Amino acid sequence: MRMGQTRPGLKDVAERAGVGVSSVSRVLSGHPDVSVKMRDRVMAAVDEIGYRPDIFARGLRGGPTMSVGLVIGDISNPLLSEISLGAESELRRAGYSLLFVNSMNDPELEAQNILLFQDRHVDGLLLSLSAEDDAGVLAALRTIQAPLVLIDRELDDSGEQLMPSAVLCDHRGGMRAAIAHLLDLGHRRIGCILGGHARFARMRRQGVEEAYAERGLPPTYNIVQGPLDADHGQAATSRLLDMRERPTALVVGGNQLLKGCLRELRSRRVVVGADLSLISCDETDLTEMHDPPIAVVRRDTHQLGRTAAGLLLRRIQDPEEGPVTTVHPTQFVPRASVVPVRETAGA
């Protein structure tokens, strides 16, 4: 029974101001050829009736929607959410809004979401994909006209058709530094728990290998690769601790894995920073507040998001711009979870 109360349109503004609709349109889209008088009249009318342009009608004509899509595997991961926060703040400064969608780390959903953003005419896409080589995702991406920025991912894009920009992290360097630190403290049997099939896992593995190779040491490390979740973290920890030549230090590649790892250590009553040295990748509440605090390979996630947004904006605003890749530093932060091997009780 309620009145239609349709929101005011361009026509209403034009009527109110006693001018033509196209003049109103020109004023609102900053067209140069408008008299000051006209601009004032129109703006006054706009304020009076509280006009807001209809984004759909604009989009229909193919104009920009001033929005950017972010496809993200798991927003509940604090790192990813910080990245998105950084991206959002940068985009907002430029007048763009960021639309999130979760893909639950499911490539099929991811592909759907990419298409969904295309339907919504986003002006660009930020991608933190769960898989770098999923055929469906790649196919969806190829239908996208808008510029793409990958966040800490490398696409397995054989055809090289989609020319994404990318913001990457120097995971290899960070891992190399972490391992080097352990080696300096006398550790030789180091267990590494890695997860996922994305770039970061490959790079971290390389970092481990390089650290040993640089010092001419035999590869007495053990890398346990698996899914990127707490269960793998726990299982891998268990497996490493059960080895005959039990590692004196563990390096864990991410917060989910860390959670599982700590769970296992607790159930075995292994004391971090005494019985065992421990390093994790990426700072979270857990690493910071743990007793003892856990050494980490850290990176500036907020900045990562901001840079990603910046690269995207550049390409949106100037379509001639080519893809750019930036690499962001990582930093090893030693903490009490790491002790020299001498103090470590053997098996």
Partner DNA sequence: ATGAAAGCGCTAACAG
Partner DNA sequence: CTGTTAGCGCTTTCAT
Chain contacts with its own copies (rule: CB under 8 A): 5, 52-57, 59-60, 75-76, 78, 81-82, 84-85, 88-89, 97-102, 104, 113, 115-116, 118-121, 145, 255, 259, 262-263, 266, 284-286, 289-291
Q: Which of 47, 54, 214, 245 binds DNA (CB under 7 A)?
A: 54
| Nearest distance in Å: CB 123, DNA | 14
Work out whether 158 is an interface residue with DNA (CB under 7 A): no
Work out whether 120 is an interface residue with DNA (CB under 7 A): no
How many other β-carbons are positioned within 10 Å of the β-carbon of residue 66? 16
Which of 152, 129, 160, 89 lies closest to 326 in space, CA to CA?
Answer: 152
Q: What is the DSSP string of 187-223?
A: ---EEEEEE-SSHHHHHHHHHHHHHHHHTT-----EE
Q: Which of 2, 3, 6, 291 binds DNA (CB under 7 A)?
A: 6
- The option from its own copies, DNA, none interacting with 30 (CB < 5 to 8 A, set by class) reads none
Q: Which of 44, 47, 60, 120 binds DNA (CB under 7 A)?
A: 60
Q: Which of 44, 47, 57, 139 binds DNA (CB under 7 A)?
A: 57
Which of 139, 12, 127, 19 lies closest to 73 in space, CA to CA?
Answer: 127
Work out whether 116 is an interface residue with DNA (CB under 7 A): no
Tell me which stretch binds DNA (CB under 7 A): 60-68, 202-210, 286-294, 315-323.
60-68
Work out whether 40 is an interface residue with DNA (CB under 7 A): no
Judged by CB, which is closer to DNA: 42, or 87? 42
The whole-angstrom separation of Cα 90 and Cα 305 is: 8
- The option from its own copies, DNA, none interacting with 227 (CB < 5 to 8 A, set by class) reads none
Which of 251, 267, 257 lies closest to 338 in space, CA to CA?
Answer: 251
Which of 14, 13, 24 lies closest to 49 in space, CA to CA?
Answer: 13
23 in Cβ contact with 14 (< 8 Å)? yes
Judged by CB, which is closer to its own copies: 30, or 319? 319
The whole-angstrom separation of Cα 177 and Cα 298 is: 11
189 in Cβ contact with 245 (< 8 Å)? yes
Which residues share a beta bridge with 150? Answer: 127, 166
Work out whether 143 is an interface residue with DNA (CB under 7 A): no
Report residue 100 as tokens.
Answer: 């999130």
Residues that bind DNA (CB under 7 A): 6-7, 9-11, 18-23, 25-26, 28-29, 33-35, 37-38, 51, 53-54, 57-58, 60-63
